[in-house]
Amino acid sequence: MTTFRECSCVVAGCVAAASVVAQQPSPTRYDEQVVVSVTPRGIADIAFMESISGDRWTCGPGGPAGEADYRIGTGQVRELQNRGIPFRIFIDDVQALIDRERADMNDPFRPRGLWDSFPTYAATSAYVDSLVATYPEMVTRISLGTSLQGREIFGFRMTSPVPPIGNAARKPVVVIQSLQHAREWIGLTSALYTATQLLANYQTDPAVRQALDTYEMVFIPIVNPDGYEITWTSDRYWRKNAHTITPPPRIVGVDLNRNWSVGWGLNSGSSNSYSSETYRGTAAFSEPETKAVRNYLQSIPKLAAFIDVHTYAGLILRPWAYQWQTPPGYPGLTRVGQAMSAKVKAGTNVTYAVGGPEILYLASGVAPDWAYGTTGAVSFTIEMHNDYGGFSPGPETIAPSGYECQLAITGLLQNLCRADFNLDNVVDDADFTSFVGAYNALLSNAGDLTGDGMTDDSDFSLFVNAYDRRTCP
């Protein structure tokens, strides 16, 4: 396998210097702030933590004892002690952590490969251009639209030179996006790592070759470019976009991962308060960033899978996030999620839990719920795991986290079953009935296995082969 450093030397050298230059110290300071890992004893403890913090760092109880991380003031630690809430100090000085991160990025003697530090928005854009230049037959840059402040929301399409089956213009598409939440830097580098490894190993790894011969992959590395810029210039732990209200003009931000229409507006998984980290906006798709990604996803003839990369909890989350009820296709989603987790475990010995809100919490208006509920694509959130530093894990974690993401995505690609329409883990008579209905309608993409947006004779040949073998094409 091509190593991470080898990839960075081949592709990333031209943009490395731009990726680490911090323009100025963050004006928003986090003095006398700590992060505590709390083991709630019940709803009352959770409600109390939300009332004194308002900034939960983990996206759910990801620890072995059901821990959840909260940022609080040092003076509030005694309140936890007085109430008898079980906790431990995870980060004892948040501002010191930021200061160390900035000093490391500005160290003139530090190695400057892209994989040695976190890339800025400009460096990420340049890196995408370098991928196009290095793999011109496999990578194409795309533009999805612009952010609230006018920054391009860019991405890249990636597939092998092997043409789609039949008359399809595109192969079935797998979309991987990151940085809906601006402060989750390791999600960005993990997605870029995954793309780089797949490209670098196409010629030598049969599994990668099979995946890229079968699917087109689309990476959207920075969904929230304005928020990401804020984390570099004025507030390292900014989460939302740059939504502004008046008077007077001030940025309050919208949580983009509460701004999608499926499940939008529920107070059980989002907030209608400007001050909340989970403020959902004034309406579903009120923000240009979510509109741009939605419009692009709707333009894809056949979306096979959708992955939203976040950090940090060590979780692989299936729909639904907005309600406790399991979705149609729950067995198939669980099988694929468990295959992703097993792939990571086999390669790294790191455990990713698989489930829904029962291992996290309710979250309404999230992107994977929209993708699954609207397009039927197999959809997951990957919460990258992290043992140190919270949202400032240090550049030494870039490669290990990237490898975990790569393994999870490989597990996804190897276990998608496009002919299993009802996601019950077998290609059987129920799928045959679904396929025949789509085939008779012809223009429907419900039975589309080739990616051309309709169910036709090319799909018929693939489906019959899968049905005869009770397996997937």
Q: Which residue has the tokens 């907030």?
A: 271
Tell me the per-residue pLDDT of 182-232, one tens digit each, with 9 for 90 and over: 999 999 999 999 999 999 999 999 999 999 999 999 999 999 999 999 999
- Give the burial string for 405-439 (b: 16+ CB within 10 Å, else e): bbbbbbbbbebbbbbbbbbbebbeeebeebbeebb
- Taking alpha carbons only, the member of 239, 242, 226, 232 closest to residue 183 is 239
Length of the chain equals 473
Contacts of 299 (CB under 8 A, 6+ apart): none
Q: CA-CA distance, 375 to 274, in Å (whole number)?
A: 30
Q: CA-CA distance, 158 to 380, in Å (whole number)?
A: 20
Tell me the per-residue pLDDT of 63-122, one tens digit each, with 9 for 90 and over: 445 788 999 999 999 999 999 999 999 999 999 999 999 888 887 777 667 788 899 999
- Taking alpha carbons only, the member of 65, 6, 23 closest to residue 399 is 6
Least-confidence region, from 4-13, 285-294, 438-447: 4-13
Q: CA-CA distance, 198 to 203, in Å (whole number)?
A: 10
Q: 188 exposed, middle or buried (CB, 10 Å; 0-12, 13-18, 19+)?
A: buried
Q: Is 383 a catalytic residue?
A: yes
Q: CA-CA distance, 242 to 229, in Å (whole number)?
A: 10
**CATH 3.40.630.10 residue ranges in the chain?**
4-20+111-233+282-415
**CATH 3.30.70.340 residue ranges in the chain?**
33-102
What are the distances in angstroms from CA 58 to CA 220, 360, 385, 444? Answer: 23, 9, 10, 41
455 alpha-carbon distance from chain centroid: 30
Tell me the per-residue pLDDT of 406-461, one tens digit each, with 9 for 90 and over: 999 999 999 887 777 776 666 777 878 878 887 777 656 777 777 777 788 887 88
Q: Which residue has the tokens 């507030």?
A: 235
- Answer yes or no: is pLDDT of 61 > 60: no
Q: CA-CA distance, 336 to 320, in Å (whole number)?
A: 15
Return the beta strands (E) in 246-302 as ranges. 250-251
* pTM > 0.75: yes or no: yes
Half-sphere exposure of 407 (CA within 13 A, CB side): 22
Q: Alpha helix locations (H) across 59-205?
A: 77-83, 94-105, 121-134, 185-200
Q: Does domain 33-102 have CATH number 3.30.70.340?
A: yes
Over residues 58-67, the mean pLDDT reads 58
Q: CA-CA distance, 37 to 302, in Å (whole number)?
A: 42
CB distance 118 to 188 below 8 Å: yes
- % residues pLDDT > 70 (the chain): 89
Tell me the per-residue pLDDT of 222-266, one tens digit each, with 9 for 90 and over: 999 999 999 999 999 999 999 999 888 999 999 999 999 999 999
Q: What is the pLDDT of residue 15?
A: 42
Q: Which of 184, 229, 287, 383 is catalytic?
A: 383
Classify domain 4-20+111-233+282-415 by CATH architecture.
Answer: 3-Layer(aba) Sandwich (3.40)
Rounded to 5 degrees, φ, ψ at 374 are -100, -40
